[in-house]
C-alpha cells in the first residue's frame, strides 16, 4: 500500500488564498482541509489531526495568535503562520507562542513548500544519538563532536549549548528570547549583546566565510535560523 498523503489544514478567511493554496498543495502531493474561521480551524484540527497547519493571523472571529495559543494547549502539530503583517513584533510573538515558521504574504510557492517540508521534519524530533549534517557542518549530539569539512572543531560549553539548541530546531527561526532563556537562563532575556558576541564566535568556527554566513542566518529583529540541508 502507498503511504497516505500528508494533510495540510489551511485556516484563512480569504477564499482566493485558500483556492491558491489548495491548487499549489494538491499539485505537490498534499491533501488539503480548509477552515475560514479560527473556531472552525480549531475544530478541524481536533477532529482531523492534520500533519501541518497553515494559519492566517487576521481571522474574522479569533485573532490568529489566540488560535495558536489554544492549539498549543493540546497539540504539537507544526504550524506555519501566513500573514500580511510584516512587523517584527508579530513574528516574535507568533514564534514565541509555538509557531514553527512565519511566511509573509504575498509569498512564493517554492518558499512556502520548502517551509512546510522543514516544519514537517521538525515534527519528528531527532534522537539524542543522531548526527546532524548540513553542508560542511556535522554535529554528533551523542558524543558532542562538531566537525566542519571533516575536521573537529573545539567549542566552549556555551558555544556548544547555543549550537545544540539551533541544531534541535534546524530550519526554524529561534527567537532571541528563546535562545537567551535556554542558554543563559530566564534572568538574561535582555542580554542580547551576549547572543551577538557568541553568534559571531560560532560563525568564526563553523562558517566557511563568516562574513557571508550560509549556515547561521540572522532573521533581522527576530532571531536566528540554522539552515537544514
Question: What per-residue confidence (pLDDT) applies to 123?
Answer: 65
Cell numbers representing residue 12 in the block: 484563512
| Calpha distance 206→214 (Å, rounded) | 10
Question: What per-residue confidence (pLDDT) applies to 168?
Answer: 84
Contacts of 18 (CB under 8 A, 6+ apart): 10, 12, 34, 36
Whole-structure pTM over 0.75, yes or no?
A: no
Which residues on adjacent β-strands are paired with residue 146? 139, 153
Which 3 state secondary structure label does DSSP give 1?
coil
Please list the pLDDT of the chain residue by residue as tens digits (229 residues). Answer: 456 899 999 999 999 999 999 999 999 999 999 999 999 999 999 999 999 999 999 899 999 999 999 998 888 899 999 988 777 888 888 998 889 999 988 888 999 999 898 888 766 554 444 789 999 999 988 788 999 999 999 999 999 999 999 998 888 889 998 899 888 888 887 888 889 999 999 999 999 999 999 999 998 889 999 998 7
Answer for the pair 172, 225: CB distance below 8 angstroms, yes or no: yes
Which residues on adjacent β-strands are paired with residue 174? 224
| Calpha distance 186→35 (Å, rounded) | 37
| Calpha distance 170→130 (Å, rounded) | 13
- Displacement of CA 195 from its chain's centroid (Å): 19
For the chain, which domains are there? Answer: 7-122 (3.40.50.2300), 131-226 (1.10.10.10)
The secondary structure of 26-49 as a DSSP string is HHTT-EEEEESSHHHHHHHHHHH-
Question: What per-residue confidence (pLDDT) applies to 8?
Answer: 97
User: What is the DSSP-derived secondary structure letter of residue 197?
Assistant: H
Question: What per-residue confidence (pLDDT) applies to 127?
Answer: 46
Cell numbers representing residue 67 in the block: 488560535
pLDDT per position as a tens digit, 187-205: 887 888 889 999 999 999 9
User: What is the DSSP-derived secondary structure letter of residue 155?
Assistant: -
User: What is the DSSP-derived secondary structure letter of residue 188?
Assistant: G
| Calpha distance 29→8 (Å, rounded) | 10
* Peptide bond before residue 212 is cis, with ω within 30 degrees of 0: no
Amino acid at each position: 500500500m502507498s503511504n497516505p498523503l500528508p494533510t495540510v489544514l489551511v485556516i484563512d478567511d480569504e477564499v482566493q488564498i485558500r483556492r491558491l493554496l489548495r491548487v499549489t498543495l494538491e499539485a505537490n502531493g498534499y491533501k488539503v482541509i480548509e477552515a475560514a474561521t479560527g473556531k472552525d480551524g480549531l475544530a478541524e484540527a481536533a477532529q482531523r489531526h492534520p500533519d501541518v497547519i497553515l494559519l492566517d493571523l487576521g481571522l474574522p472571529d479569533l485573532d490568529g495568535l489566540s488560535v495558536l495559543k489554544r492549539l498549543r494547549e493540546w497539540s504539537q502539530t507544526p504550524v506555519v503562520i501566513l500573514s500580511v503583517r510584516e512587523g517584527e513584533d508579530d513574528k516574535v510573538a507568533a514564534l514565541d507562542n509555538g509557531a514553527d515558521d512565519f511566511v509573509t504574504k504575498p509569498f512564493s510557492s517554492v518558499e512556502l513548500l520548502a517551509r512546510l517540508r522543514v516544519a514537517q521534519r521538525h515534527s519528528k524530533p531527532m534522537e539524542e544519538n543522531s548526527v546532524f549534517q548540513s553542508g560542511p557542518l556535522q554535529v554528533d549530539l551523542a558524543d558532542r563532536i562538531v566537525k566542519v569539512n571533516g575536521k573537529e572543531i573545539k567549542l566552549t560549553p556555551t558555544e556548544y549549548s547555543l549550537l545544540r539548541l539551533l541544531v534541535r530546531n534546524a530550519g526554524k527561526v529561534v527567537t532571541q528570547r528563546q535562545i537567551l532563556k535556554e542558554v543563559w537562563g530566564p534572568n538574561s532575556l535582555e542580554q542580547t549583546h551576549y547572543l551577538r558576541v557568541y553568534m559571531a564566535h560560532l560563525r568564526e568556527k563553523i562558517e566557511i566565510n563568516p562574513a557571508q554566513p550560509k549556515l547561521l542566518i540572522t532573521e533581522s529583529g527576530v532571531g536566528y535560523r540554522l539552515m537544514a540541508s
